[in-house]
Structure 1
Amino acid sequence: MPTSPSDDAVPAAPRADDPSAGAPHSGAPYDSASRDSSPYTGTPYDLAVVGAGPAGLAAAVAAGRLGLRVALLDSAARTGGQFYRHPAPGLNARRPQALHHAWQAYAGRTRRLAALIAAGRVAHLAEHHVWAVTGAVGEWSVHTALGPDGAGERRTVRAAKLLLATGAHERQLPFPGWTLPGVVGAGGAQAVLKAGLVLPGRRIVVAGSGPLLLAVAGSLAAAGAEVPTVVEASGYVGYARRPGALAANPGKLAEGAVHGIGLLRHRIPVRTRAAVTEVHGKDRVEAVTVMRLDHDWRPVPGTEKQIACDALAVGHGLVPQLEPATGIGCATRLTPDGTHALVVDERQRTTVPGIWTAGETGGVGGAELAMVEGELAALDIAGRQGPGRESRARRRDRLRRFADAMAVAHAPRPGWTAWLGDDTDVCRCEEVTAGEVREAVGELGARDARTVKLLTRAGMGWCQGRMCGPAVDCLTGGASGTAPRRPLACPVTLERLAEG
């Protein structure tokens, strides 16, 4: 089955004197000395794609091949997003693809992207941190801050249509000791391995919930780490309750089998219905306590077991990154695992006219689903119908059913808050404890996360609640009905705001 628009759909390369072609952008990190101003002051693009991960990359390539002038914006220096990370050039990695699966799907699209950049059809605007979107149908303005850390000049990219592919970030559920050095996100451990070729420790426990844990444990072990165990809070029997989704996605079963074989090869046991409930150590991690969980994820007394380690890689799935979509009014829905995702129709359109989305923003489902959705969105934006669109839509729906089954199987249960002592930090940025949140709810009358934030400052720190938000929601009484709306999608200085 083809995964990209047919070559028959690719228009001839524009002539150098064609004013509609625009100036190609190298895709290199922003350099104020050599910056070409045409991406900001020239004719508005047909389409601006925010995010150059699997979804945004696939969308930009498909749209460019269908004849649209595309601006592909991303905060990183290279495409790939959180999934396809690249080792720093100075590390001279010989086989970076060995740390990824489905590398060929990514490599093929990067080759097509390079050709489209050379033809002036796509401008890859690297190291562009999108902090807000304004405008309306036909005249969107994407406001960015430039440079590796977003501290550079402010620039605005204009486009007639907009596709948001901003991905997701890890969900963390706090527990005693989780702020100790050596505790890292499960995805974070994989990220530093892919990008830095380093391990967070030598003896690493992998814990949390979700299929990412198996991939992380296998990657760490293959890189030389000792992984004494994988601790999975949910288990995998939940998948069996949706046999249709499994049968329709044999590739996912094969992928799971590959991870399982890898764990067997490295002799890594998997403990299901269990969790790390405490981390021990003085200056860094020295050991963790693992306990069995009941159906609601409450620790079962008397099941404590301490495991020596020097690092813990922990995560409970992913949370869609919804800024700047919610800031411009895109509606959200509650997902089966208690997070929020954008409301999306069968054509990948959001509830705001002129804005499409693809990938994890519509519900976490992985790189393969993200790429299919990116191509579907591009086809709709370009006004293309036909068999190619229909086959991709069927594939999208099949993968989405599996994603929903995955979300249900690994959804956190409410009893996990029993892990928390009153002195356990919940909001790391503002050092707000579980006891302070409980006091705000039980004694001060807070009934939602926003009120808790006003009373305790939980969520007011640098991460703006991305790290502590799920925990505060649970301690408040459950996930709120709507996702938070933030006017700024990422940190931006007052100096940059004053420029406008």
Structure 2
Amino acid sequence: MSLHPVIVGGGPAGMAAAIELAEHGVHCTLLEEASRLGGVVYRGPLRDGVHLDYLGPRYAEVLARLHGDFQDRCALIDVCLNTRVVGAEGTRALVMLDAGERVQEITYPQLLLAAGCHERSVPFPGWTLPGVILLGGLQLQIKSGVVKPQSPVVIAGTGPLLPLVACQLHASGVKVAGVFEASAFGKIAKESLALLNKPQLFLDGLSMLAYLKLHRIPMRYGWGVVEAQGEGELRNVTVAPYSSSWQPDLSRAEQVAAQTLAVGYGFIPRTQLSQQMGLEHGFSDDGYLRATANIWQQSSEPHVHLAGDMGGIRGGEAAMFSGRIAALSILVQRDVLSTEQALPLRERYLAKLKSIVRFRAAVDRYTERGAGQTALPAADTVICRCENATRADIDRALSQGVQDMASLKMRTRVSMGDCQGRMCVGYCSDRLREATGRQDVGWLRPRFPIEPIPFSAFQNLGTDALNHE
């Protein structure tokens, strides 16, 4: 067994945890699937010498501080980039695909899962057309400093990421045809006091709206996507005003010319690994599955910790604090700190978390999805891209009395493809909750490996076996 704690995920949570451990003299191993640290939030450009000035001074400041603190303590952090964890062996070992595409096993005394999140997919007619992209993926294009989307761009969905990405796109020289926020303005205004728990973020939001107005980029509240059209590639987007339950008023629908449609309906924790490990999970108010953790960020297995978006979506700043709290728990378990020494530090981090949690709760309330969203797909709209299962297939299964995710999987093959349900399970569980009236409609434990492994990873297995004999 490795004597060092292992951290899965090199985003803000994983980096902050590694920094906290190093500050107390504890060596750790950090596994990151990307070629650079920082996660989707603070990864920075993929090429040296690229300056992303249009992302704003606050972004640049946090990015530089986080990476600077990490670099100052890197002597005690073993970083494994381009390393994907593809499964777990119980709760004491992980199986990973290293940078050389070799399958390796790593054991640990303590583990921190900071695997981040993935975007919520919302199917609608035309959502599989080339040119339709998830909003977070589009933002990664901007941050990469390598590619830019084809314009004009339409942005649709809900949440503070919509105007942010619109401003970043325009500042980088991309034409934005319009931003369509599904929630009504009045619903957002009701949360103003709660949003002031983070006044700088609130002011940033106002400045983004002022920027859009100044550059004549339409920002329409209570409007959402209905359909994407094109032959082989995106040409037009149909949008319409939404009711309070997100039912589109098709009598007032409009077409907007676009070559790129960026759709953003929030994020979902990446729980594939925590599910495979058999950790306890629960459902959020928004219906997504998340692993449960206590005040020390410990999972149902005390030596396995959770940080960042694993336990719920709260943003990059909150991820850093949760990562540091998890690190304190690891330090206590390793007898580096006593509980009495760790408690004041934990309380300091928790105090900083409170205002973020209140701010995030307000965002969650105004971005709460309407029930009408599940009605957007037509009968022939593909829901599960891997298995080509359509809405009609799901409707038929529900009409036959399917009550849970396992039964739906057996009837329709949803989630049986390479992505193991990342793209389709959200919509399917929404439909099941709608049909059954139950919050808990079950979940599907991912099979091993949680991501495809290339054949090249096995090319030396025969030779290794012979040498072993």
Fold shared by both chains (TM-score > 0.5): yes
Q: Which residue of 1 aligns with 2:15?
A: 57
Structural mapping, 1:200-215, within 5 Å: 200-215=149-164
CA contact (8 A) 2:163 2:208 kept: yes
Deviations, residues 190-230 of structure 1 (Å, cap 9, x unaligned): 11121143222110000011211111111111111111211
Q: Quick one: which of 93, 110, 114 aligns to 1:141?
A: 93
Q: CA deviation at 1:494?
A: 7.5
Distance 1:212 1:60 in 2: 28
Structural mapping, 1:48-447, within 5 Å: 48-89=6-47, 93-96=49-52, 98-99=54-55, 101-117=58-74, 119=75, 121-136=76-91, 140-147=92-99, 152-242=101-191, 245-383=194-332, 384-442=341-399, 444-447=400-403
Which residue type is aligned with residue 321 of structure 1?
Answer: R
Distance 1:210 1:439 in 2: 33
CA contact (8 A) 1:324 1:487 kept: no
Which residue type is aligned with residue 79 of structure 2?
Answer: H
Distance 1:459 1:236 in 2: 36
Distance 2:43 2:179 in 1: 24
CA contact (8 A) 2:394 2:408 kept: yes
Query: Mind listing any 5+ residue stretches in structure 2 that lack a counterpart?
Result: 333-340
Which residue type is aligned with residue 137 of structure 2?
Answer: G
Distance 2:361 2:299 in 1: 19
Which residue type is aligned with residue 329 of structure 1?
Answer: G
CA RMSD of superposed structures (Å):
2.2
Q: CA deviation at 1:272?
A: 1.5
Distance 1:213 1:422 in 2: 29
SS of 1:306 mapped into structure 2: strand
CA contact (8 A) 1:333 1:482 kept: no
SS of 2:36 mapped into structure 1: coil
Matched, 1:470 2:429: no
Q: Quick one: which of 461, 472, 487 aligns to 2:417?
A: 461
Q: Quick one: which of 484, 492, 497 aligns to 2:444?
A: 484
Distance 2:177 2:456 in 1: 49
Which residue type is aligned with residue 143 of structure 1?
Answer: V
Q: Which residue of 2 aligns with 1:449?
A: 405
Distance 1:445 1:53 in 2: 42
Which residue type is aligned with residue 423 of structure 2?
Answer: M
Query: CA 1:212–1:329 in 2, change beyond 3 Å: closer, same or farther?
Result: same
Q: CA deviation at 1:448?
A: 2.0
Query: CA 1:387–1:102 in 2, change beyond 3 Å: closer, same or farther?
Result: farther
CA contact (8 A) 2:292 2:311 kept: yes
Distance 1:343 1:239 in 2: 29
Q: Which residue of 1 aligns with 2:337?
A: none
Q: CA deviation at 1:436?
A: 1.1
Distance 2:225 2:180 in 1: 7
SS of 2:154 mapped into structure 1: strand
Which residue type is aligned with residue 89 of structure 2?
Answer: T
Query: CA 1:130–1:352 in 2, change beyond 3 Å: closer, same or farther?
Result: same
Query: CA 1:284–1:270 in 2, change beyond 3 Å: closer, same or farther?
Result: same
Q: CA deviation at 1:458?
A: 1.7
Query: CA 1:328–1:450 in 2, change beyond 3 Å: closer, same or farther?
Result: same
SS of 2:408 mapped into structure 1: helix
Distance 2:16 2:231 in 1: 46
SS of 2:251 mapped into structure 1: coil
Q: What TM-score do the two structures reach when normalised by structure 2?
A: 0.89
Distance 2:108 2:362 in 1: 37
CA contact (8 A) 2:415 2:424 kept: yes
Distance 1:226 1:243 in 2: 30
Distance 1:60 1:225 in 2: 37
Q: Which residue of 1 aligns with 2:336?
A: none
Distance 1:332 1:408 in 2: 22
CA contact (8 A) 2:29 2:78 kept: yes
Q: CA deviation at 1:99?
A: 2.9
SS of 1:474 mapped into structure 2: helix
Distance 1:199 1:335 in 2: 34
Q: CA deviation at 1:173?
A: 0.8
Distance 1:94 1:291 in 2: 39
Query: CA 1:452–1:276 in 2, change beyond 3 Å: closer, same or farther?
Result: same
SS of 1:267 mapped into structure 2: coil
Query: CA 1:345–1:401 in 2, change beyond 3 Å: closer, same or farther?
Result: farther
Which residue type is aligned with residue 432 of structure 1?
Answer: A
Distance 2:232 2:55 in 1: 31
Query: CA 1:189–1:371 in 2, change beyond 3 Å: closer, same or farther?
Result: same
Which residue type is aligned with residue 307 of structure 1?
Answer: V
Q: CA deviation at 1:97?
A: 5.7
Deviations, residues 17-49 of structure 1 (Å, cap 9, x unaligned): xxxxxxxxxxxxxxxxxxxxxxxxxx6133111
Distance 1:263 1:243 in 2: 20
Distance 1:464 1:425 in 2: 16
